[in-house]
Amino acid sequence: MRETVRGNPAARTAVSIALHDLVATQLEVPLYRYWGLDPAETLETSYTIGLDDLETMREKTETAVDRGYGTLKVKLGTDRDLEIVQTIRAAAPDVRLFVDANEAWTPREAVAKIDRLAEFDLAFVEQPVPAEDPEGLQFVYERSSLPIAADESCVTLADIPRIADRCDIANLKLMKCGGLREARRMISTARAHGLEVMCGCMTESNASIAAACHLAPLLDYADLDGSLLLADDLADGVPMSDGRIDLAGLERPGTGAVLDGSLD
């Protein structure tokens, strides 16, 4: 399929999800069981606090904590990054917190900012520099006081060896890598290179988020809150009460995704 449909990784992912869902559904088992994974070995997804004014970010943080989320991801890449993290940490002193610079910093700026941000007990920093600057990523990795996650630098299987000595965590996304099989290959390759693994997402409905949730037993971190950020999701999927990916609580076979009945 990669040769037939060049590019268009999201389209390939849609086909991959549909085929995996079909096979597991025909066998009347959830996808994680088809793969032989233990649903008890799951984890919670982070919840993203997007860039906004400080008061709005504080309010969103407090709401997320009140809803039970124990891991928050904070978007950075501004001239007030330190103030943002100070505000979020004050509003959520007990959660696991990591930040995503979205390629916004220069290498030297990243090192300086990370040194300042380390006092706020951050788990790691995601994509501090542009993906087209691998040497810059290595510069930051070698000098950072916090673990570094590669996102935009980690798109396909071929990227894993290139980032292996330049980060601590490989962040894969189904919509970028092209499907579930490719994602599992990336996870195995990242492990072989000594990297931790996170699965992230775009702004997506449960039609695709549900499929990614079945990878949870293979991951160290999950950033699968795409459907949680939607006002109205067209699909229901894997239960995620309080952010916990509850594969064992899934009662439907396949990926578990089902379209909202109101759309019938």
At residue 70 the predicted structure's pLDDT band, cuts being 50, 70 and 90, is: very high
Per-residue confidence (pLDDT) for residue 195, from 0 to 100: 99
Rounded CA Rg of the chain = 18
> Is 66 domain-assigned?
yes
> Is 263 domain-assigned?
no
Mean pLDDT of 197-219: 96
> Is 69 domain-assigned?
yes
Tokens representing residue 226 in the block:
């795409």
> Is 65 domain-assigned?
yes
| Main-chain phi, psi angles of 71, to 5 degrees | -135, 125
> Is 131 domain-assigned?
yes
- Angstrom CA distances, 38 to 42, 198, 245, stand at 8, 18, 13
Total tally of structural domains belonging to the chain: 1
On whether the CB atoms of residues 195 and 218 are closer than 8 A, the answer is: no
| Partners of residue 98 on adjacent β-strands | 73
At residue 11 the predicted structure's pLDDT band, cuts being 50, 70 and 90, is: very high
Per-residue confidence (pLDDT) for residue 85, from 0 to 100: 98
Q: Which of the residues are catalytic?
A: 75, 100, 126, 151, 173
Residue 91 lies in domain: 9-246
> Is 258 domain-assigned?
no
On whether the CB atoms of residues 224 and 45 are closer than 8 A, the answer is: yes
> Is 63 domain-assigned?
yes
Mean pLDDT of 234-246: 90
Per cent of the chain over pLDDT 90 is 87
Per-residue confidence (pLDDT) for residue 8, from 0 to 100: 87
pTM beyond cutoff 0.85: yes
pLDDT exceeds 60 at position 2: no
> Is 1 domain-assigned?
no
Map residue 169 onto helix, strand or coil. strand
Ranking 3-7, 42-46, 48-52, 61-65 by mean pLDDT, the lowest is 3-7
Q: What letter does residue 5 receive in the DSSP assignment?
A: S
- Digit-coded pLDDT (tens) for 133-160: 999 999 999 999 999 999 999 999 999 9
On whether the CB atoms of residues 146 and 118 are closer than 8 A, the answer is: yes
Neighbours of 244 (CB within 10 A): 18
Q: What is the CATH number of the domain that holds 56?
A: 3.20.20.120
CA-to-CA distance for 76 and 61, rounded, in angstroms?
15
Per-residue confidence (pLDDT) for residue 5, from 0 to 100: 45
Per-residue confidence (pLDDT) for residue 263, from 0 to 100: 47
Per-residue confidence (pLDDT) for residue 187, from 0 to 100: 99
The residues near 13 (Cβ < 8 Å, ≥ 6 apart) are: 174, 175, 177, 178, 179, 180, 208
| Main-chain phi, psi angles of 243, to 5 degrees | 85, -10
Mean pLDDT over each residue of the chain, to the nearest integer: 94
On whether the CB atoms of residues 156 and 177 are closer than 8 A, the answer is: yes
